[in-house]
Chains A and B, each alone.
Chain A
């Protein structure tokens, strides 16, 4: 199965909701509209030829200058039968960071969505247990959002001049 066949199959089934399909570093990346995320994923999983049964990874991404599409979720899928990996991305505005949870399709999405929530504040609708997983529970911000400086803001002992700031 070639990348083109996968793209054609998806476009035939979802039309406008498949926004873009590019091949980068030999890996097919499909950008879909966030409203249709579960339908596309379900199709990829259950279609006889595609067979993307394995959700390898799920993570968030933040492009602060992509107006109205600042936040995204990336799904990495693996078809063990055809031995092909693809990426599926869905973007949505950061003022309304909500997307439906993929836990209904893959139970393994549970922890990965919690991690994505923990670091990006993305809210997964219908997630059974959406709370922080890696950071301290009382953290009151989402550290991977790009508006935060990398350094710990609570430090007083570092002389800025020594660190080129």
Chain B
């Protein structure tokens, strides 16, 4: 490997000239945010193991600026729900989501978190989107680390393309109201 292999992320669209670069604040902030995600791993079962592999040097989520896991919802940007969520766990998950500060995103990893998966039974929540809004779903049982990385990249796309204060948009307010979250 030579040092020319290092990939540098393209700058957002804007005006460039000798010694200056101008873009909109939205784009600059979105660009910065998308590469400094602090994920909160809410790993309840087997999918969490696959997430551990994703964090390890072989796959290295650090390349995407998301290597700093946050174990307090108050500091997290991205809630990663990985695993089977029992109905009794539902209120806990919702509580965690409610404690996160805006802007916040949710990634649902695996069949269980997205739809209940193989646990089509009385005790398992049939998809976390029944209680909290989800931005990106990763299919699989369990998804491979590559898929998790793709999911994170989809989240990054979302973050880059969203307005600075998405929570003030009417769509977002409506979505939250749909879940009964203030």
Report A's interface with B, CB cutoff 8 A.
134-136, 139, 143, 148, 150-152, 154-155, 157-158
What residue in chain A is nearest B123 (Cβ atoms)?
A135
Quote the shortest CB–CB distance from A2 to chain B (angstroms): 42
Q: Does B122 touch A at the CB level, under 8 Å?
A: yes
Report B's interface with A, CB cutoff 8 A.
87-88, 90, 115-116, 120-124, 126-127
Overall SS of chain A's interface: loop
Query: For A157, what are the chain B residues with a Cβ–Cβ distance below 8 Å?
Result: 115, 126-127
CA distance A3 to B93 in the complex (A): 51
B121, A155: Cβ atoms closer than 8 Å: no
Query: For B88, what are the chain A residues with a Cβ–Cβ distance below 8 Å?
Result: 134-136
What residue in chain B is nearest A132 (Cβ atoms)?
B88
Of A143, A152, A157, chain B has the most CB atoms within 10 Å of the CB of A152
Quote the shortest CB–CB distance from B68 to chain A (angstroms): 34
B87, A151: Cβ atoms closer than 8 Å: no
Given contacts A135-B88, A136-B88, contact A154 B123 (CB under 8 A): no
CA distance A148 to B123 in the complex (A): 13
A152, B122: Cβ atoms closer than 8 Å: yes
CA distance A99 to B126 in the complex (A): 35
CA distance A151 to B123 in the complex (A): 10
Return the contact of A143 from the options B115, B116, B122, B127 (Cβ within 8 A).
B122
Return the contact of B126 from the options A134, A136, A154 (Cβ within 8 A).
A154
Return the contact of B124 from the options A134, A139, A148, A152 (Cβ within 8 A).
A152
Of B120, B122, B123, B124, chain A has the most CB atoms within 10 Å of the CB of B122
A155, B123: Cβ atoms closer than 8 Å: no
Query: For A139, what are the chain B residues with a Cβ–Cβ distance below 8 Å?
Result: 122
Given contacts A135-B88, A136-B87, contact A151 B115 (CB under 8 A): no
B87, A155: Cβ atoms closer than 8 Å: no
What residue in chain B is nearest A144 (Cβ atoms)?
B122
Query: For B90, what are the chain A residues with a Cβ–Cβ distance below 8 Å?
Result: 136
